[in-house]
Structure 1
Amino acid sequence: MTKAPFSHALVTGASSGIGESIAHKLGKAGVGMVLVARRKDRLEAIAAQYPNVEVLAADLTTDAGLGAVLERLRDTTRPVIDLVVNNAGFGTSGPFVAADPERLSREIALNITA
């Protein structure tokens, strides 16, 4: 595999699906990572497979979760993040009139705001 043009990536939604696949691809390429998702145990299982990986359990639909990610990005004592994979997201299906307004708010917060 060719050397990546970046050294450290932050991957949101890294605990499953596309985010997990991207994390594995980056890890195999030797890229240092900060893995972000709500499920810490799943992030730790991925992180254990590669060197130079940080786990950041955070709910990006909350101010606290977003704040934790921003704090890490601004931390000059740690490696600089030079790639962000903003992958976290989820969807709602079914008739719109039957949708739970709170769930829709969380969906918008994650898919658009975060």
Structure 2
Amino acid sequence: MSEVKRVVVTGASSGIGEATARLFAACGWKVVGVARRAERLAALASSSPEIETFAADVTSSDDVAALAAYLAETGPVHALVNNAGGARGSDPVDTLSLDDLRWMLEVNVVGVARVTQALLPLLRAAAASDGSADIVTVSSTAGLQAYAGGGGYNAAKFAVHGLIGALRLDLAGEPIRVIEVAPGMVQTEEFALNRLGDAAKAAAIYEGVDHPLVADDVASVIVSALEQPWHVNQDLIVLRPIAQAAQFAVHRGPLAPKA
């Protein structure tokens, strides 16, 4: 039986993934941070002796197979956080780029399935030896509620929401928790910029919003979910800033009680 648990976090080179890897390490977990950008991973690894890294692209079957082999050789895997993902574009369905749609489906849906399939034998082995294991997938409120201009991203996140729901049913009877964390508006350094390709447009999304979520907020929810007693499964965790009442309903300006 392992005294210290080991978690794999994809998309760990920035944003929510990086914050999650750092928080797990601070809480005493062994962490394997996975992402495409080796130079960003090197900075993450240098931040804590509890963090090791592995450069891999979740859209590459060869990369993911190499990751699984490395993990099998270097220790148990008690938890997987599927965080790698992203958005491209905000055009309506009649003009959205089909190449962008394919990319979003590949990284947000197929990538999650690919990594989960590859690591599930390791998670089952850890559950057999230590009593339980965990799969957390970071989705989005975009997978629960459609919005104008969200067609491609909505499609990808609705698909991963369905995938995770089916996975939970497939694993029924096994001591493996399947948790979906669906954040709303989260202000990170890269997400909106990568989606829109324009710094001013990216900044405008959060303009006037009193305390949008940040990566550390989401990380705290993920770590807290995994540190609940093993039999407590938070199937779906939806988190938004108070200023965001719904996917398309964002208050801009200070938050204050009505007179």
Does TM, scored on the shorter chain, surpass 0.5? yes
Equivalent position of 1:83 in the other structure: 79
Change (3 A) 1:83 1:105: same
Matched, 1:94 2:91: yes
Q: Deviations over 1:55-114 (max 9, x none)?
A: 1111111222222233234x2x31211011111100132223433323322211111112
Distance in 1 between residues matched to 2:81 and 2:12, nearest whole Å: 9
Equivalent position of 1:53 in the other structure: 51
Match of 1:34 among 32, 35, 39: 32
Match of 2:101 among 95, 100, 104: 104
Normalising to structure 1: TM-score of the pair?
Answer: 0.82
Change (3 A) 1:97 1:58: farther
Higher relative contact order, structure no. (Cα contacts within 8 Å, ≥ 6 residues apart): 1
Structure 2, unmatched stretches of 5+, are 112-259
- SS of the residue corresponding to residue 30 of structure 1 reads coil
8 Å CA contact 1:90, 1:107 repeated in 2: yes
Q: Deviations over 1:35-56 (max 9, x none)?
A: 1111111111011111142211
Equivalent position of 2:18 in the other structure: 20
Give, as a single letter, the amino acid of the residue that structure 2 aligns with 1:100: S
Deviates more, 1:35-44 or 1:56-65: 56-65
Distance in 2 between residues matched to 1:103 and 1:65, nearest whole Å: 22
What root-mean-square deviation, in Å, do the aligned CA atoms of Structure 1 and Structure 2 show?
1.8
Structure 1, unmatched stretches of 5+, are none
- SS of the residue corresponding to residue 98 of structure 1 reads coil
Distance in 2 between residues matched to 1:97 and 1:42, nearest whole Å: 37
Give, as a single letter, the amino acid of the residue that structure 1 aligns with 2:102: S
Which structure has the bigger radius of gyration?
A: 2
Shift of 1:6: 5.6
- SS of the residue corresponding to residue 81 of structure 1 reads coil
- SS of the residue corresponding to residue 11 of structure 1 reads strand
Equivalent position of 1:68 in the other structure: 66
Change (3 A) 1:87 1:81: same
Normalising to structure 2: TM-score of the pair?
Answer: 0.39
- SS of the residue corresponding to residue 74 of structure 2 reads coil
